[in-house]
Structures are given as C-alpha cells and as structure tokens.
A = this chain, B = another copy of it.
Amino acid sequence: MSFTIRKALKDDMLDVMNLIKELAHFEKEADAVQVTVEDLENDGFGESPLFNCFVAEMDSEIVGMALFYSRYSTWKGPTIHLEDLIVTESKRGLKIGSALYAKVIEYGYKKGVKRIEWAVLDWNKPAIDFYEKTGARVLRDWNTVHIENESIKNYVNGL
C-alpha cells in the first residue's frame, strides 16, 4: 500500500473538501462547514493564497491532506500553523498522517520558521503521544477563544 505526498493542486480541492466534510461529520459538526469547493479554489490558488496544502495520493485517489498557512508571533516572528491534518477513515494506520506531518515540519524547517503550531483536543491521547514523540510540546494552560458571526455582529452593534 504505497502512497505519495505532493503539493495540492487547484483540481484537488473537491477531494480536499470531501476530507474536510468527512472529519466534520465524524465530529458531528457537518453543518458547521460553510466553506465551498469554489472558496477553497479561490482562497488557496489566487494571487495571494490564504493557505498551502499537501495531499496524500494512493492509487490515483486523494486519501489525506494537510492544510497550513503563515502566522506571526511577536516573540518568534513568522510561524506556520497546521490547520487540518486529515486521513480518510479507511486508510488510517498506514503512516499517511505521519508522512503528511513530516512534510509540513520539513516545509517549515526549509522556510526557517522558529515555530510550527496547531491545536489538539485534550482527550486525543494517541495524537498527543505522537506529537510529543516528535519533540512538540502541548501548552495545556492555553485555551482557544472564538467569537463568531452572530456574536461579532451583536457585539459591534452594541458598541
């Protein structure tokens, strides 16, 4: 069962979207996906792409993806954020996830960034164990905060 990792092309965005939806469905959040294939095509492959993406291909099928972009740390300078790393359920356990992960870390290394970061669910022990084995550190005392659509609108209108 061999696979290859390569940079995603615009034409891969339908497959990438399907992976995003598969994960959202698994997390029982299918309705939360508001991005469309066209959005991914425009946002990732325009003049100033908003993200970069690697895909894993097996028998001419996209079976995994890693999507990432630049961030900025006022301590470290430019960093990379790994937003999504998804392997389709039927192809797990074949080290495809590790290979995608390695590709992103290698990409950051070549770019010379001083930090690569991402988020993990605090109960996802297999993932945490894997990350820590590669030298990553879980910042257990930092939580993520979100303000979304309706709340943004309500807050601004109340100012």
Question: Which residue in B35, B142, B144 is a CB contact (below 8 Å) of A75?
Answer: B35
User: Is A142 within 8 A of B120, CB to CB?
Assistant: yes
Partner of A147, one of B50, B78, B134: B134
Closest to A156 in B: B109
Stretch at the interface among A56-64, A87-95, A111-119: A111-119
Contact B75 A149 (CB under 8 A): no
Assuming the A-B contacts A72-B50, A76-B34, A76-B35, are A109 and B153 also in contact, with contact meaning beta carbons closer than 8 angstroms in the complex?
A: yes
Are A75 and B105 interface neighbours, CB within 8 A? no
CB-based nearest B residue for A148: B115
- A126 in the interface (beta carbon within 8 A): no
Hey, what's the 0/1 contact readout for A117-137 against B, CB within 8 Å counting as 1?
A: 111111100001001001111
Q: Is the CB of A78 within 8 A of B50?
A: yes
Residue of B nearest to A77 (CB): B35
Given that A43-B78, A50-B78, A71-B69 are contacting pairs, would A144 and B147 also be in contact in the complex, using a CB cutoff of 8 Å?
Answer: no
The 0/1 profile, CB within 8 Å of B marked 1, for residues 1-45 of chain A is 000000000000000000010001000010011110001100100
Which residue in chain B gives the minimum CB-CB distance to A150?
A: B135
> Sorted from nearest, which 3 A-B pairs have the closest CB atoms?
A135-B151, A136-B147, A139-B144
A35→B141 contact, CB < 8 A: no
Q: Which of A73-89 contact B (CB under 8 A)?
A: 73-78, 81, 83-84
Task: Select from chain B the residue with minimum beta-carbon distance to A49.
Answer: B72
CA–CA, A76 to B153, complex, Å?
16
